[in-house]
């Protein structure tokens, strides 16, 4: 766990989407200490114009290549989050050609009892994990 939602506008190839997802997962492993095979990602493609991402007054120029990443997780501190933001921008630029100005990341926190990984059970709470 973390659960990562990746929102993009249509236009990337399946290979480009996979490279984007793989880069995100590598950052989760490196900066959030996610265990191997702890990969939960949802990629959603939106028609052009369905992601509206202004610059919040920061002077950022966004393109149709904008990517919004939402990470639902628990237990990461401010230093880990900041390291993740920096690593994500670097990895996605290097591996997927994403301009760092086109990357928006939001971290959502929850607790152990907010997760069920299947079978209608709360594995963290019940001691399976």
Active site residues: 2
- Burial degree of 92 (CB within 10 A; 0-12, 13-18, 19+): buried
DSSP assignment letter at 128: -
Q: Could you give the 3-state DSSP secondary structure of residue 60?
A: coil
Instruction: List the structure tokens of 73.
Output: 């997780």
Give me the torsion for CA of 87, 47, 64, 81, rounded to 10°: -20
């Amino acid at each position: 766990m973390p659960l990562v939602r990746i929102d993009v506008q249509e236009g990337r190839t399946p290979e480009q989407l996979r490279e984007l997802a793989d880069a995100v997962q590598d950052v989760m492993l490196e900066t959030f200490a996610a265990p191997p095979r702890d990969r939960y990602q949802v990629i959603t493609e939106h028609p052009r114009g369905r992601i509206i991402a202004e610059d919040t007054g920061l002077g950022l120029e966004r393109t149709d290549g904008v990517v919004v990443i939402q990470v639902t997780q628990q237990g990461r501190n401010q230093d880990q989050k900041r390291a993740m933001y920096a690593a994500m921008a670097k990895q996605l630029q290097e591996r997927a050609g994403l301009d760092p100005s086109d990357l928006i990341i939001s971290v959502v926190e929850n607790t152990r009892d907010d997760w069920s990984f299947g079978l209608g059970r709360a594995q963290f709470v019940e001691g399976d994990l």
